Amino acid sequence: MKPSMQGSKETIYSLPKQSVWKRLKKQTYPQLFVLVGLIVLFIFQYLPMFGILMAFKDYSITSGIMGIFTSEWVGLKYFNQFFTDYQFEQIVRNTLAISLLKLVFTFPVPIILAIMLNEVRISAVKRIVQTTSYFPHFISWVVVAGLASIFLSTDIGIINEMLVKLGIVDEPISFLSDPDHFWGLAVMTAMWKEAGWWTIIFLAALSGVDPTLYEAAQIDGAGRLRRIWHITLPAIQGTIIVVLILAIGSLLGGGLVGSNFEQSFLLGNAVNSEKSQILQTYAFNMGLAQGRYSYATAIDLLQSIISVTLIFGSNWLAKKVTKTGLF
Amino acid sequence: MKRTVEDKIVDFVVYSILAIVFIVTFYPFYYLIIISFNDGVDATLGGIYFWPREFTLVNYETLVVDPKWILAFFVSVARTVVGVILGVLCTSIVAYGLAKKDLMFKKFYFALFIIGMYVSGGIIPLYVVLRSLHLLNTFWVYVIPGMLNIFLLFIAISFFREIPKELEESAKIDGASDLRIFISVVLPISKPVLATMALFTGVGQWNAWLDSAYFVQNENLRTLTYKMMEVIQKANIPIDLQGPGAEYAAKVAQSTPYSLQITAMVISVVPIICVYPFLQKYFVKGATIGAVKG
């Protein structure tokens, strides 16, 4: 990817002891290039950031962008509205449950997969399994939801057909509409889609391990499992911690496997909503479907605050425990 | 070295599980393809696992003559092409500026971009901004808001920093302007990073559906993924609530909404399969670099 290059330390733009103006003039183009980025950044990142103020105001959509600043302050009115909403507990419970279940069940999978692939000596097998396993990462969640609806349906779904034929169940299971199956459905589909992708990162860490280490351990009489335990695992320990911090930091979005919103939106329906409605989908429906912009922004903000706290919290914890952190 | 009992057990477990992983990820796509080539009514009887039973091209023919699907397909292609061109141009030119070692106010600029990467106002304020800019319900809402990808920006910056100074200096001595150097010296040797950016952006554009659902009302601007979402959402709701999906079934005897949905899914996955070799080459590198460098 990188051409090997050695740049000299001197630069062509600045010479010492020049006025700011002169130096700027010398780098007109680079400054202009950056300015393009700043304009785009301001419009699509920073202006919406100011929009967070809407959560504390009575905002009306007709007042446009300026309305964000001119509308009336209402303090925590919308937050209280949400806390007293009859669905509040249900939504918070679903959000936390889905996020935590995903963390617990999907986080170890890429690590285990990477360790297994690392044990494979036939390179063709390794390549084929890897190539297919991360393919779903590039597929839209819409297609994944479609696959789920095809394979898990009660009348033509292959999974139910197999379960019935093997005598595991008597009646087809309604995976897609029974609320009690939604959490499992969310965990399984996310795992299917993203586990192979995260395996790449652990395998990249393993590619740097010196093969003579394994040979030496073998000569010393360490069996396969001991070699995994003493060589493979320590080699990816650092990566595991970094990835775990990322996963906890993005917990509410669904962690590594992301997509809580897309799953609840695409696989959720009127029938299973008691288990599939989460903070993000609720805010989304309130805001864009029902036009309660301030209320929706308040719920969104609540989630952002929890997320930021989690990022810094997990980083702090990781630093305390293992002396490594992201920042 | 002789293989011990432990070796045999470990190998057996590893190969068995990897075989399951392979089947579970490969078969669903294979199944989609065989059903898409099978007669729709026949497919609903089930029992098709490895090969189409009633081979037909009718599902594809039905989709190809349906103006709604054709249009959606072209909208998806257009947003992918335009989105990639705009995104790569915008992100690379900004990255080139930021990669200059002696750029004034560099620290301040970087702080702004990093904050922009981690803090976002959320979808509601973004909607308000798009509305005020009159981008809602236009094709541009697909390509303009995302044209600067901050994650890719940093990947590009780290690449441009590696370019030897001598190259640019000699061009400068020949009297080329910075813009000229960027276009005729820097871009030609930056193909790997440009490819990475193009692929990231392209896959994202091709798979996007949310903007089509909420920032656009004009039916002629719907994307392929959005159309699929409509069909799937209907499919997951018990039959008695179903509406428009049934009209296709009446039109073409052998195609069912179910088969059409599967065929649309195949059509949406095929382009990704086509660029997959390139994805592997650049994407995976980009992802691991991004992750290792944190």
Question: How many whole angstroms separate alpha carbon A284 and alpha carbon A260?
Answer: 13
Does residue B241 register a pLDDT over 70? no
For residue B20 the two structure tokens come to: 């399951």
Q: How confident is the model at residue B249 (pLDDT cuts 50, 70, 90)?
A: very low
Chain A (73-112) residues lying within 8 Å, Cβ to Cβ, of chain B: none
Cβ contacts of B123 on chain A, cutoff 8 Å: 284, 287-288, 300
- pLDDT recorded at residue A16: 57
Distance from CA of B236 to the nearest CA of A (A): 6
- pLDDT recorded at residue B287: 58
Least confidently predicted of A243-247, B22-26, B134-138: A243-247
CA neighbor of B289 nearest in space, from B212, B189, B192: B192
CB A119 to CB B90 under 8 A? Answer: no
Comparing CB atoms, the residue among B4, B129, B150 nearest residue A223 is B4
CB A23 to CB B177 under 8 A? Answer: no
CA neighbor of A98 nearest in space, from A242, A263, A244: A263
Q: What is the pLDDT of residues A284-309, one digit of tens each?
A: 989 888 889 999 999 989 888 888 88
Report pTM: 0.86
CB A192 to CB B214 under 8 A? Answer: no
For residue B263 the two structure tokens come to: 């065929």
Comparing CB atoms, the residue among B97, B164, B231 nearest residue A31 is B97
**Angle at CA B120, nearest 5°, toward B118 and B124?**
160
Does residue B220 register a pLDDT over 90? yes
**Buried-state track B54-75, b at ≥16 Cβ within 10 A, e below 16:** eebebbbebbeebeebebbbeb
Comparing CB atoms, the residue among A131, A177, A284 nearest residue B238 is A177
- pLDDT recorded at residue B289: 54
Question: How many whole angstroms separate alpha carbon B182 and alpha carbon A34?
Answer: 14
Is residue A104 exposed (0-12), middle (13-18) or buried (19+ Cβ within 10 Å)? exposed
Q: How confident is the model at residue B179 (pLDDT cuts 50, 70, 90)?
A: confident
Q: How confident is the model at residue B11 (pLDDT cuts 50, 70, 90)?
A: very high
Least confidently predicted of A4-18, A26-40, A192-206, B126-140: A4-18
Cβ contacts of B225 on chain A, cutoff 8 Å: 140, 142-143
Based on C-alpha coordinates, what's the Rg of chain A? 26
Name the average pLDDT for chain B: 85
Comparing CB atoms, the residue among B189, B209, B214 nearest residue A142 is B209
pLDDT over 70, % of chain A: 93
Please list, in sequence order, all residues whose beta carbon lies within 8 angstroms of the beta carbon of residue A84, skipping any fewer than 6 positions away. none
Instruction: Look at the block and give the residue holding tokens 């500026």.
Output: B97
Residue of A1, A130, A192 to mutate, testing the B interface (most B Cβ within 10 Å of its Cβ): A1
Q: What is the pLDDT of residues A188-219, one digit of tens each?
A: 999 999 999 999 889 988 988 888 999 899 88
- pLDDT recorded at residue A137: 92
Q: How confident is the model at residue B292 (pLDDT cuts 50, 70, 90)?
A: very low
Q: What is the pLDDT of residues A80-134, one digit of tens each?
A: 999 999 999 999 999 999 999 999 999 999 999 999 999 998 999 999 999 999 9
- pLDDT recorded at residue A188: 94
pLDDT higher for A143 or B291?
A143
- pLDDT recorded at residue B269: 93
Distance from CA of B206 to the nearest CA of A (A): 8
Question: How many whole angstroms separate alpha carbon B9 and alpha carbon B4?
Answer: 9
Least confidently predicted of A100-114, B83-97, B275-289: B275-289
CA neighbor of B92 nearest in space, from B130, B149, B50: B149
CB A45 to CB B116 under 8 A? Answer: yes
Does residue B224 register a pLDDT over 50? yes
CB A141 to CB B98 under 8 A? Answer: no
Helix (H, G, I), strand (E, B) or coil at A73: strand
Please answer whether residues B184 and B172 qualify as being in contact, where contact means their C-beta atoms are separated by less than 8 angstroms.
no
Question: How many whole angstroms separate alpha carbon A153 and alpha carbon A170?
Answer: 15
For B136, phi and psi rounded to 5 degrees? Answer: -60, 145
CB A116 to CB B104 under 8 A? Answer: no
Distance from CA of B145 to the nearest CA of A (A): 6
- pLDDT recorded at residue B239: 41
Cβ contacts of B153 on chain A, cutoff 8 Å: 37
Does residue A15 register a pLDDT over 90? no
Distance from CA of B244 to the nearest CA of A (A): 17
Name the average pLDDT for chain A: 86
Distance from CA of A57 to the nearest CA of B (A): 13
- pLDDT recorded at residue A14: 52
Question: How many whole angstroms separate alpha carbon A182 and alpha carbon B7?
Answer: 39
Ranked by mean pLDDT, the top range of A140-144, B67-71, B173-177 is A140-144
pLDDT higher for A245 or A141?
A141
Q: How confident is the model at residue B102 (pLDDT cuts 50, 70, 90)?
A: confident
Comparing CB atoms, the residue among A44, A46, A68 nearest residue B145 is A44
Q: Per DSSP, what are the bridge partners of residue B38?
A: B55
Question: How many whole angstroms separate alpha carbon B151 and alpha carbon B113?
Answer: 10
Q: How confident is the model at residue B215 (pLDDT cuts 50, 70, 90)?
A: very high
Does residue B172 register a pLDDT over 50? yes
What does the pLDDT average to over B233-261? 54
Between A and B, how many residue pairs show a Cβ–Cβ distance under 8 A? 303
- pLDDT recorded at residue A155: 80
For residue A92 the two structure tokens come to: 């918070």
CB A65 to CB B129 under 8 A? Answer: yes
pLDDT higher for A195 or B250?
A195
Comparing CB atoms, the residue among A30, A140, A326 nearest residue B103 is A30
Chain A (129-168) residues lying within 8 Å, Cβ to Cβ, of chain B: 129, 131-136, 138-143, 145-147, 149-151, 153, 156, 158, 161
pLDDT higher for B86 or B117?
B86
Instruction: Look at the block and give the residue holding tokens 């199944």.
Output: B31
| B284 C-beta neighbours (distance < 10 Å), count | 18
CB A37 to CB B177 under 8 A? Answer: no
- pLDDT recorded at residue A98: 93
Q: How confident is the model at residue A3 (pLDDT cuts 50, 70, 90)?
A: very low
- Which of the 8 DSSP states describes residue A57? B
Q: What is the pLDDT of residues A151-194, one digit of tens each?
A: 998 887 888 888 888 888 888 888 888 899 999 999 999 999 99
With CA atoms as reference, the chain A residue closest to B35 would be A150
Distance from CA of B56 to the nearest CA of A (A): 20
CB A132 to CB B113 under 8 A? Answer: no
pLDDT over 90, % of chain B: 43
Does residue B72 register a pLDDT over 60? yes
Does residue A327 register a pLDDT over 70? no
What does the pLDDT average to over B84-93? 95
CB B32 to CB A147 under 8 A? Answer: yes
What does the pLDDT average to over B58-83? 91
Does residue B212 register a pLDDT over 80? yes
Does residue A144 register a pLDDT over 90? yes
CB B6 to CB A225 under 8 A? Answer: yes
Distance from CA of B91 to the nearest CA of A (A): 8
Does residue B293 register a pLDDT over 70? no
What does the pLDDT average to over B170-195? 87
Does residue A7 register a pLDDT over 80? no
